[in-house]
Amino acid sequence: MILVIAEQKDGQVNRASWEAIVAAQQTAEPVVVVVAGQGSAAAAADLAAAQVTEVVAIDGPGLAQYTADGFTAAYAQVVAERQPAHVFIAHTYQTRDFAPKLAARLDRSILTDCTAVKAGTPLTFVRPMFQAKLAADVAIEGPAPHFVTFQIGSFKVDELAKGSAPAPVVAVSAAVDIVRQQPDAPFREARQAVDLTQAERIVSVGRGIKAPENIPLAKELADALQAELAASRPICDAGWLPMERQVGSSGQTVAPKLYLALGISGAIQHVVGMKGARTIVAINKDAEAPIFELADYGIAGDIFEVVPQVIAALKA
Amino acid sequence: MKIAVCLKQVIKRDSTLRVDDARTWVRDADAEFEMNEPDAYALEEALRLKEQHGGEVIVVSAGPARVQTVLREGLARGADRALHVESDALAQADAFAIAGALAAAIGPEQVDLVLTGLQSDDQGFAQVGVVLAEKLGIAHATIIMEVKVEGGALRVKRELEGGWFQWVGLPLPALLTIQSGINTLRYATLKGIMAAKKKEIRRVDAPAGVAPRQKIVSLYFPEKTKQTRMITGSPADAARELVRVLREDARVF
Ligand SMILES: Cc1cc2nc3c(=O)[nH]c(=O)nc-3n(C[C@H](O)[C@H](O)[C@H](O)COP(=O)(O)OP(=O)(O)OC[C@H]3O[C@@H](n4cnc5c(N)ncnc54)[C@H](O)[C@@H]3O)c2cc1C
Ligand SMILES: Nc1ncnc2c1ncn2[C@@H]1O[C@H](COP(=O)(O)O)[C@@H](O)[C@H]1O
C-alpha cells in the first residue's frame, strides 16, 4: 500500500498533492491518502473523489496551524498504524520542513525531489543531481516504509483516476503534545512597483551576466525589444537587481509572449516561474544547460558576444 | 551564543561534469571545489549574530581531507574554530549518514544554535539540516530569510512559496536552514586569512557501521525530450537568424 500525504490550506488541496496521488496510482498499488490540520475534513471530502481505498483526515489540538513538530507527530502516528510500503509526498516547502524529520523520527529512508518512478521490484526513482545537470536512478535501502517526495510538475493532474463512488473518509484525532514552533499568520511583502506578470516580453538575466556592470547590456536588449528586465535569484540575492524582479518559486510567476533567458541554467525553482511563457529563448555558453530542455530557440554561445549582435540586428 | 555552522564542499558551479566508469558518481579526482552557496550565507548570519550577541562560531564539515579548504575559508571569514568529520565515504553519502556524522561532532559541543544551508548544490537532498535537528533533539525551522534573538528565544522569518513569508517563534537550542540572499556576504581579508592559519581544525571520528539508506544505480545526462531549435553560426549570423524567427515565426513583436 502507498500512503500519500496531501497538503491543504483552508480546506483546499494543492495541485502538487494531486500529482503525488497520480504518482501513487500509477504504481498499481492500493492508495490511501492522509491529510492533516484545520480544514482537513473539507479537503478529505474532495480527495475522496480520487480512486483510492481510503482517505484519513487528522485533526486535533496542536494541529490548527502547520508546524513541523505538530505535523510530524500526527503523521508518525498514521504511518506507524498503517504500515505502508511507501509514503509519497509532493516536494513543497512544507514537505521540506517536516518530511525529513518524519522519516528520521521513524528511522526510515527518504528520497527527495524525484521526477519519475521506474517500475520493477523494488521500485527505483529518478531524481535530479548537480542542479539538474545530471539525473540518477536511485534504489532505496533498509526497511519499509520508504518515503519519497516528488518534484512539482512531474506528474499530470489530468491523469488522475477518479473512483466510481467517493472513497471512505476516516476522521482521526491526533494527540500532539509538544509543539515548539509558534507560527504567526503568513503574509506577503507590500505590493511592488514592477508587475512582471503583465509583461508581454521579458529579458531575464542569470549568473552568466557575471558582474553588475554588465546589467546595462541586458537592459539595452530589453529596451530594444520593449521588454521588462527580470532575473534569477542569485542576481537579486547579490543586489544587482531588486528582489521584485525575481522570477521563480520564491519570486514572480510570469507568462509573457517572449521570455529570453541570458546566462540562466534552468534550475527547477526558476523554471516553475517562467515555463508558461509562449516562446522561450535561451542564450547560454553551456550547450548542456537544462534551460535548453525548455527553450523553443537556443543559441549555445557567450552572451557577451551574442547579445550586442542581437541588439544590432533589432536596430537594423 | 555558541553557534555551529555546517559547511559542505561541492564541485564548482561552472565545472564540466563527467560521469565515472561505474556510472554512479562524477569524476571528481581533478575537480575544483567551493563552499555550497547557501552555507556561505549561513556562515555570514552566524558571524553577524556573534557580533551582536557575543559567543563563538564553530564551522563543521563532513567529508574527505579536501573539505578542510572550506573550513579554512570559514575560519578566514571569522569563525573561531572548526570540526572536521573525516571520511572518504562521506563524500557521496546519503543525508542520514551525513547528518549522523555532523551530529557526532556537534552534539558534545552543546551549542545554542545550528545553522545549515537549505540545500546542497551536488546531491540536493534538502534534508541534512532537518534530520540533524531530529538527531540532536532540537527544534528547527527551514528556508529562513531573517533571524532575531529576543529574550533567549528566536523569531525567524520563513520563506513560503510564491512570495509569502511567515514569522515563527522557536526556543533555543534550535537549528535553522538558511536561504541564499538572507544577508550580504563578506569575503575573507588578508588579515583573516593569516589569522585562520593559527585556528584549530579538530578531527572527529565518523560513526561506524552506518548502513546506506539509498544507492545510486546509475547516473546519466538527462534525455532531451523537447525539440529546441538550436541556432548556430557566428554570433552575428545567429543573432540575425534569431531576430528573424522571433519576428516571422514566433511573432512575439
Ligand atoms: C527553496 C528554493 C527557492 C528558490 N527560488 C528561486 C527563485 O524563485 N528563482 C530563481 O531563479 N532561483 C531560485 N532558487 C535558486 C535556484 O535553485 C538556482 O540556484 C538559480 O535559479 C540559479 O540561477 P542561475 O541560473 O542564474 O545561475 P547558475 O545556475 O549559476 O547558471 C548560470 C548559467 O550561466 C551560464 N553562463 C555563464 N557565463 C556565460 C556567458 N558568458 N554566456 C552565456 N552563458 C553563460 C552557465 O553556463 C550557467 O548555465 C531557489 C532555490 C531554492 C532551494
Ligand atoms: N558533508 C557535509 N558537511 C557539512 N555540512 C553539510 C554536509 N552535507 C550537507 N550539509 C549541510 O546541510 C545542508 C543541506 O544539504 P542537503 O541535505 O544535502 O541538501 C547544506 O547546505 C549544508 O549546510
- Residue B81 identity (one-letter amino acid): R
* Among A75, A101, A184, A109, residue whose Cα is nearest residue B138: A101
User: Domain end: A132, A163, A191, which one?
Assistant: A191
Q: Quick one: A38 and A187 in the same domain?
A: yes
Q: For the domain that residue A249 is a member of, what is the CATH number?
A: 3.40.50.1220
Q: Quick one: A172 and A202 in the same domain?
A: no
Q: Kindly state if the Cβ of A21 falls inside 6 Å of ligand 1.
A: no
CB-closest option in B124, B224, B225 to A113: B124
At A191 the pLDDT is: 67
H runs (alpha helix) in A132-280: 215-224, 233-237, 268-271
Q: What Cα–Cα distance (Å) separates residue B171 from each residue in A76, B50, B152, B176?
A: 23, 18, 8, 12
Q: Quick one: A109 and A254 in the same domain?
A: no
pLDDT bucket at B209, cuts 50 / 70 / 90: confident
Segment A12-59, tens digit of pLDDT: 999 999 999 999 999 989 999 999 999 999 999 999 999 999 999 999
Helix (H, G, I), strand (E, B) or coil at A9: strand
Assess contact for A99 and A149: CB atoms under 8 A: yes
Pick among A14, A65, A66, A93 to test the B interface (most B CBs inside 10 A): A93
User: Domain end: A191, A212, A236, which one?
Assistant: A191
Cell 537568424 belongs to residue = B241
CB-closest option in B124, B171, B226 to A129: B124
Q: Is B54 left (phi over 0), alpha (psi -120 to 50) or beta?
A: left
Task: Look up the domain containing A201 and give its range.
Answer: 194-315
The DSSP bridge pattern shows strands A116-118 and A182-183 to be unpaired
- The residues near B97 (Cβ < 8 Å, ≥ 6 apart) are B89, B90, B210, B212, B213
Mean pLDDT of all residues in A265-291: 95
- In this prediction the pTM is 0.97
Tell if the CB–CB gap between A132 and B222 is shorter than 8 Å.
Answer: yes
Beta strands in B111-246 (DSSP E): 113-117, 139-150, 153-159, 164-171, 174-178, 201-204, 214-220, 229-230
Chain centroid to Cα A303, Å, comes to: 29
Helix (H, G, I), strand (E, B) or coil at A2: strand
Helix (H, G, I), strand (E, B) or coil at A88: strand
Question: Whose atoms come closest to the Cα of A211: which ligand?
Answer: 1
Assess contact for A140 and A178: CB atoms under 8 A: no
Percent of the residues in chain B that have a pLDDT greater than 90, as a whole number: 91
Mean pLDDT of all residues in A61-86: 96
CB-closest option in B161, B163, B240 to A189: B163
Pick among B28, B45, B127 to test the A interface (most A CBs inside 10 A): B127
Measured by CA distance, the residue closest to atom 53 of ligand 1 is B119
**pLDDT at residue A221 is higher than 90:** yes
Assess contact for A283 and A258: CB atoms under 8 A: no
Mean pLDDT of all residues in A125-145: 95
**pLDDT at residue A73 is higher than 90:** yes
d(CA A202, CA A241): 14
Rounded distance from Cα B192 to ligand 2 centre (Å):
24
Q: Kindly state if the Cβ of B141 falls inside 6 Å of ligand 2.
A: no
At A122 the pLDDT is: 87
At B85 the pLDDT is: 98
Mean pLDDT of all residues in B212-225: 92
- Looking at the DSSP bridge assignments, the partners of residue B85 are B62, B204
* Beta-carbon-side half-sphere exposure of residue A54 (alpha carbons within 13 Å): 14
* Among B23, B136, B10, residue whose Cα is nearest residue B64: B10
**pLDDT at residue B130 is higher than 70:** yes
Percent of the residues in chain A that have a pLDDT greater than 90, as a whole number: 92
Measured by CA distance, the residue closest to atom 2 of ligand 1 is A269
At A119 the pLDDT is: 87
CA-nearest residue to A303 within chain B is B235
Mean pLDDT of all residues in B135-157: 97
Enter the C-alpha cell of residue B222: 538527462
Q: Quick one: A247 and A183 in the same domain?
A: no
- Looking at the DSSP bridge assignments, the partners of residue B59 are B5, B82
Rounded distance from Cα A261 to ligand 1 centre (Å):
10
Angle at B152 between CA B147 and CA B155, to 5 degrees: 30
Segment A171-203, tens digit of pLDDT: 999 888 899 999 999 998 876 778 899 999 999
At A151 the pLDDT is: 97
Segment B75-106, tens digit of pLDDT: 999 999 999 999 999 999 999 999 999 999 99
Q: Quick one: A171 and A230 in the same domain?
A: no
CB-closest option in A100, A189, A282 to B95: A100
d(CA A278, CA A200): 10
Tell if the CB–CB gap between B160 and A93 is shorter than 8 Å.
Answer: yes
Provide the 8-state DSSP code for A247.
Answer: B
For CA atoms B20, B22, B23, B25, the dihedral sign is negative
Q: Quick one: A142 and A8 in the same domain?
A: yes
Instruction: Please give the torsion angle defined by the CA atoms of residues A241, A270, B180 and A127, in that order, rounded to the nearest 10 degrees.
Output: -160
Q: Quick one: A151 and A254 in the same domain?
A: no
Q: Quick one: A184 and A223 in the same domain?
A: no
Q: Quick one: A63 and A131 in the same domain?
A: yes
- Residue B122 identity (one-letter amino acid): D
User: Domain end: A130, A157, A191, which one?
Assistant: A191
Of the residues B160, B177, B180, which should be mutated to test ligand 1's pocket, given the most ligand atoms within 8 Å of the CB?
B180
To the nearest whole Å, the CA of B131 is away from the closest chain A CA by 5
Q: Quick one: A71 and A160 in the same domain?
A: yes
Q: Does B215 lie at the interface with A, CB-CB under 8 angstroms?
A: yes
Of the residues A233, A235, A247, A271, which should be mutated to test ligand 1's pocket, given the most ligand atoms within 8 Å of the CB?
A233
B158 contacts in chain A (CB < 8 Å): 97
d(CA A141, CA A150): 18
Q: Kindly state if the Cβ of A261 falls inside 6 Å of ligand 1.
A: no
Of the residues A93, A250, A281, A292, which should be mutated to test ligand 1's pocket, given the most ligand atoms within 8 Å of the CB?
A250
- Looking at the DSSP bridge assignments, the partners of residue B11 are B33
* Among A309, A216, A202, A308, residue whose Cα is nearest residue A264: A202
* Among A172, A160, A240, residue whose Cα is nearest residue A204: A240
Q: Quick one: A24 and A152 in the same domain?
A: yes
Mean pLDDT of all residues in A123-146: 95
Ranges of each domain in chain B: 2-205
Strand order in the sheet with A228-231: A228-231, A201-205, A258-262, A279-284, A297-300, B229-230
Rounded distance from Cα A241 to ligand 1 centre (Å):
14
Q: Kindly state if the Cβ of B144 falls inside 6 Å of ligand 1.
A: no
ω into A100 cis (within 30 of 0): no
Q: Kindly state if the Cβ of B126 falls inside 6 Å of ligand 2.
A: yes
ω into A145 cis (within 30 of 0): yes
More confident of the two residues B163 and A201: A201
Q: Kindly state if the Cβ of B151 falls inside 6 Å of ligand 2.
A: no
A220 contacts in chain B (CB < 8 Å): none
CB contacts < 8 A (A, B): 248
At A74 the pLDDT is: 96
- Residue A215 identity (one-letter amino acid): I
Q: Does B91 lie at the interface with A, CB-CB under 8 angstroms?
A: no
C-alpha R_g of chain A: 22
User: Tell me, which fold does domain B2-205 have in CATH?
Assistant: Rossmann fold (3.40.50)
Q: Quick one: A77 and A186 in the same domain?
A: yes
What's the total number of domains in chain A?
A: 2
d(CA B10, CA B8): 6
Helix (H, G, I), strand (E, B) or coil at A141: coil
Segment A293-308, tens digit of pLDDT: 999 999 999 999 999 9
Asked whether the ipTM of the predicted complex exceeds the cut of 0.90, the reply is: yes
Mean pLDDT of all residues in A152-164: 96
H runs (alpha helix) in B54-153: 68-77, 95-106, 128-136
- Average pLDDT over chain A, rounded to an integer: 95
- Looking at the DSSP bridge assignments, the partners of residue A110 are A147
- Residue A221 identity (one-letter amino acid): L
- The residues near A281 (Cβ < 8 Å, ≥ 6 apart) are A258, A259, A260, A261, A295, A296, A297, A298, A299, B242, B246
